[in-house]
Structure 1
Amino acid sequence: MAVQPEGTPCWADAMSSDLEGAESFYGEVLGWTFAQARSEFGDRTEAYADGRAVAAVVPPVPGQEGRSPWCLYFAAEDAVATAERIRAHGGEILTGPVRVVDLGSMCLARDPGGVVFGLWQAGTHEGFQAVAEPGAYTWAEIFTRDPATSDAFFSSVFSYRQRHMEDEEGDFRIYDLGERTVLGRMEMGEEFPPEVRPHINVYFGVGDCDEAVARAVGLGGELRFGPMTTPFGRFAAIGDPQGASFSVIDTGTTEGEMPELTDVS
């Protein structure tokens, strides 16, 4: 895939203290295969779906204890300039920007509401080689306890256009880049225990949601929500054996009418 416009989700990695266990779990649940870990890249191990790079598994890194186990990275044309915008709008830079040999430049940041995310300025590694298919990144949602702050921050940093959808379950918005929808934002209500930090929930595509859940639970994972069928697909939230949260979605199984969305001025 080509380099994506700034603000597009372009890569994801899972931080794990048991890399072998993580590879076994995600290999069975999502069908991933893995490259050999490379010490020059901090023992980062790249994951593949049908031979195409879709994510990575990395060991814990000092100074990154505040990040969620799964981290979503957004494309940046100039990571240094984007990091400056993050600071200017009340965010915090946790790591970088730092050059990763010829692969590109990365940065970890936190929004004013506590949501940790990454930036990736592409070099030879452009990001996801497949999206929106089984085993590949398909969708993501910001979960925040301070939606107004997160909305203002992300739209200022990445020039997102916002559309609003509200139902009886809470406040939800989607973020668009031009005419392309790239991200969702969900308010964390009282149903989220205080110990659950603001985060970005990453969805990976599967051919059958229920089968993926059964495999995950059988391997020591935890079903946290669902499965539930929506107009966007049948999905479930899962915790891996080390506690990292992610979701799986079968976009071919849908139910109900698409909701109406209202532009936010």
Structure 2
Amino acid sequence: MTNPHGTPIWFELITSDPDAAGAFYAKVIDWSVGSFDGATVAGPEDYRVFSASDGEGVAGLMKIPDGAPPQPAWFGYVGVDDVDAAVAGITAAGGSIQMPAITLEGVGRMAMVTDPQGVPFYVMKGASPEPSTAFKRMSLGHGEWNELSTSDDAAALDFYAAQFGWKKDGAMPMGAMGDYSFLSHGGQMIGAVMRTPPGEQPRWNYFFRVGDIDEAETRITDAGGTIRHGPIEVPGGDFVIYATDPQGARFGVVGSR
């Protein structure tokens, strides 16, 4: 992939029931589900691809691999110029390796790592000559926002700035919770960093764009999902929902009203 170093390039759902999860997100986000030539990231399981209504691939879908944590979860991929160099930099900065770097023919080279606060994500150098459009703000069905909830927001901002060139680009005060610090990369807003709310675990939260937020809320509950928070208005006039799918994976949607 030709995306600049530090670009969010892919999303992936690892779940206990790919068939049910595929049907759920098809209803909620209007994704279609297809195969990806049998390619896998973490094992021989069937690997599927969620595509937006414009036909562009947005995310992967696979069953939880043997030996992996049993909780269904969404993960994000950050594009890098050199996976091995990125892993070395991440571990030198206090991160850890969850899955050593591997190369998949026709897919690319990737590794799963954590930041120094223990939040997992992937780094990847894709094999495709075309840039990824999985993260494409203001585009229906595409990744819209990447939100890090962390135990140490100041340290996380320093870490991601050093590894990927992400910049703090303004902040919204949240009282006792501190700042909601906006992240930009290459002149584009990509997400934010915040302190983990009490009772929650540090994690990346990934949001996908839908149309009308109230219609999305109805689709989530009708399809068996759970609304955890929202809809709430955010700067710029959009609304967001924090939700959980029927298998227990957390995700978010962004839409208008």
Query: Please, which runs of 5 or more residues in structure 2 have no aligned partner?
Result: none
- 1:92-130 deviations in whole A, cap 9, x for unaligned? 011121111121111111111121111121112743356
Query: Please, which runs of 5 or more residues in structure 1 have no aligned partner?
Result: 254-265
1:103 aligns with 2:102: no
Assess if the C-alpha contact under 8 Å between 1:46 and 1:57 holds in 2: yes
Q: RMSD of the alignment, in Å?
A: 2.0
Q: Distance in 2 between matches of 1:130 and 1:162?
A: 19
**Alignment partner of 2:76 out of 72, 77, 81:** 72
Deviates more, 1:237-246 or 1:41-50: 41-50
Change (3 A) 1:130 1:71: closer
> Which residue in 2 is equivalent to 1:33?
32
- Per the TM alignment, residue 174 of structure 1 is displaced from its structure 2 partner at its CA by 1.8
- Per the TM alignment, residue 181 of structure 1 is displaced from its structure 2 partner at its CA by 2.2
Change (3 A) 1:129 1:189: closer
Q: Distance in 2 between matches of 1:179 and 1:129?
A: 18
> Which residue in 2 is equivalent to 1:186?
194
**Alignment partner of 1:45 out of 48, 66, 70:** 48
Question: Partner letter of residue 242 of structure 1?
Answer: Q
> Which residue in 2 is equivalent to 1:141?
147
- Per the TM alignment, residue 37 of structure 1 is displaced from its structure 2 partner at its CA by 6.3
Assess if the C-alpha contact under 8 Å between 2:9 and 2:134 holds in 1: no
Q: Distance in 2 between matches of 1:177 and 1:40?
A: 29
**Alignment partner of 2:202 out of 182, 198, 204:** 198
**Alignment partner of 2:181 out of 169, 173, 177:** 173
1:246 aligns with 2:251: yes
Question: Partner letter of residue 3 of structure 2?
Answer: Q
- Per the TM alignment, residue 229 of structure 1 is displaced from its structure 2 partner at its CA by 1.7
Deviates more, 1:141-150 or 1:164-173: 164-173
1:131 aligns with 2:140: no
Deviates more, 1:109-118 or 1:119-128: 119-128
Q: Distance in 2 between matches of 1:39 and 1:179?
A: 36
Q: Distance in 2 between matches of 1:138 and 1:43?
A: 26
Change (3 A) 1:38 1:122: closer
Assess if the C-alpha contact under 8 Å between 1:141 and 1:185 holds in 2: yes
Instruction: State percent identity of aligned pairs.
Output: 28
Q: Distance in 1 between matches of 2:104 and 2:32?
A: 23
Instruction: State the TM-score, normalizing by the size of structure 2.
Output: 0.89
Change (3 A) 1:70 1:105: same
- Per the TM alignment, residue 131 of structure 1 is displaced from its structure 2 partner at its CA by 1.9
Instruction: State the TM-score, normalizing by the size of structure 1.
Output: 0.86
